[in-house]
A and B are shown apart, each in its own frame.
Chain A
Amino acid sequence: MNVRFLPAGDTAVIVEFGERIDRLLSDRVLRLSTLVRAANLPGVVETVPTFRTLMVYYDPLATDGASLSAALENLLDNGRGAAQPATLWRIPACYAASHAPDLAVVAQHTGLSTAEVVRLHSASTRYHVYMVGFVPGFPYMGDLPAPLVLPRRADPRVRVPAGSVAIATNMTAIYPQESPGGWHLIGTTPVRLFDLRRPRPALLSPGDAVRFEPVTVREFDAIRAAVAADAYQVPCETIAP
């Protein structure tokens, strides 16, 4: 498969595996990311996996783009990166109308009942975390079941509340903090996606898996209270790659 090295000035090399959003491309991006981190290449500052590229940031005073590209090429050819085990998170989400401002509209646009939208979005689908970014801790997860695929809202909201569970195109996401946003809000989670008091502040990492577990308003309130008291752990398990 053809991999391209794209220039990004004198502080990063971009390894591009393709131009689509594709699970197989994502797996290759994540595998190279693991290899680069393990290889401790001189001058590499950090790596950022995205849908289809791996960003490899470097210090131009400690290495140069040409040597780094050669080292990356070598890792691509010879690296023995077994895919890493990932974490499957079971994230509680409340889909009650009071917690899901766009659920009725999504049902209307997709021709489904709200119950069917919830069923498709939650229990029946396991999502892959492609990347985390845009704002701190924001996970891009996919792929959404085909019947739920919709374009973004025509008029983005100025304020999307923290914890909003959202869908747009073939992706789903959770807003970690209040921010502007154009995705459809179909639920809310009481879980904190980004918390600076944790050693790893983002709950989700690229490569993780996520299932949404529907909860009632009463359960939502109970979990939220437990989260506020630092007495809640998001259920999770390690899964084979």
Chain B
Amino acid sequence: MIPALEVIAPGLHTTVQDRGRIGYQDIGVPPSGPLDRISFNLANALVGNPPATPALEMLLQGPTLKVIAESVRIALAGCSAGIEIRSGNARTIPAGRSVRLVRDEVFRIGALRDSVCAYLAIEGGPDVPLVLGSASTYVRGAIGGLQGRRLQAGDSVPLKLAGADGRDEHALPRQFDLALDQSIRVVLGPQVDHFTDGAVKTFLSSEYTVSTQADRMGYRLAGPALVHAKGYDIVSDGIVTGAIQVPGSGLPIVLMVDHQTIGGYPKIATVISADIPVIGRRKPGRSIRFVAVGMHEAEQLRKDQEAAISEFISRIV
């Protein structure tokens, strides 16, 4: 029998993600990958996987899964919910800690509570084919992951390993700070000159909230509308993850990992790469404030963040 996790309940939106699909934006295929790359990395590190191993990303509400393998080692990261083990010796394993489960055990990850997204890593990872070099699921294009879609009840997620290593379990050195209230740092541009000075001031001084129209493609924000200085249509150009485009309504949309590759609205600013995971976690209803930094500072912040994460991972016990 193929080792697998059987999907009893799929959760709200559970997909296979790896680091993302790089090199196909010129034919319209977005990068995909995890909304929160840091928690994705932490989950993989906890089960001893190489950093780019595919994991399950869940949004808001996690799945219920059954072990169809001799044993599996799993770990959850990115939220304060835990892994509720429901069969046999019922117990809850908090996020940030690995656990080994045996055949037929059933576990559930309920509401994620504080974050939009969390990651369940499995030792060895799911065994899905690479599509255009990546295991990541891009649901709109039906590309990658498990048949190009989110998990459904009755699915079997095939696993690379039939059994988990017999080693001791690992835990993060402390709870990772999800930065749920941190300001989001942006670099102004590429089309900041399409907005009035007042609009830029409003953007940087107001409180926005994440609306319920938020998915892997983009997070629509609610808050003060921004006034365009030269109309809201531009000749379409490319989009990076984190671009903040402002359509005719004046309300910003932060484009996330499944963003369309080309768009025709002016972009007032771009979220820096260090803060993509931070905004990625932010739930509908929570507030967001933006603060501007320079490009060089943004690059330094990212380098510092990578160093801090590596150091944090090196202290996993």
Contact = CB atoms under 8 A, between A and B. Distances in A.
A57 B242 CA distance: 13
B23 A46 contact: yes
B61 interface: no
B27 A21 contact: no
Contact of B235 (A20, A133, A137): A20
A169 B187 CA distance: 33
A55 B243 CA distance: 13
Residue among A11, A20, A66, A200 with the most chain B CB within 10 A?
A: A11
A11 B262 contact: no
Contact of B189 (A7, A134, A135, A202): A7
B53 interface: no
Contacts of B191: 6
A133 B142 CA distance: 16
A10 B298 contact: yes
A232 B55 CA distance: 38
A8 B271 CA distance: 9
B260 interface: yes
A10 B299 contact: yes
A136 interface: yes
B44 interface: no
B240 to A, nearest CB: 5
Interface string A60-81: 1100111000000000000000
Contacts of A9: 186-187, 240, 242-243, 270-273, 295, 298
Interface residues of A, number: 45
A133 B302 contact: no
A214 B303 CA distance: 56
Contacts of A131: 236, 262
Nearest to B294: A7
Interface string B79-98: 00000000000000000000
Contacts of A60: 273, 298-299, 302-303
B26 to A, nearest CB: 5
B49 interface: no
A7 B261 contact: no
A206 to B, nearest CB: 7
Contacts of B302: 10, 60-61
A201 B299 CA distance: 33
B260 A135 contact: yes
24 contacts: A6-B189, A6-B190, A7-B270, A8-B189, A8-B190, A8-B240, A9-B240, A9-B271, A10-B272, A12-B238, A46-B23, A48-B25, A49-B26, A51-B237, A55-B237, A57-B25, A65-B299, A133-B261, A133-B262, A135-B140, A135-B260, A136-B29, A205-B26, A205-B27
Interface of A: 6-12, 14, 16, 19-21, 45-53, 55, 57, 60-61, 64-66, 131-138, 140, 177, 194, 196, 200-202, 205-206
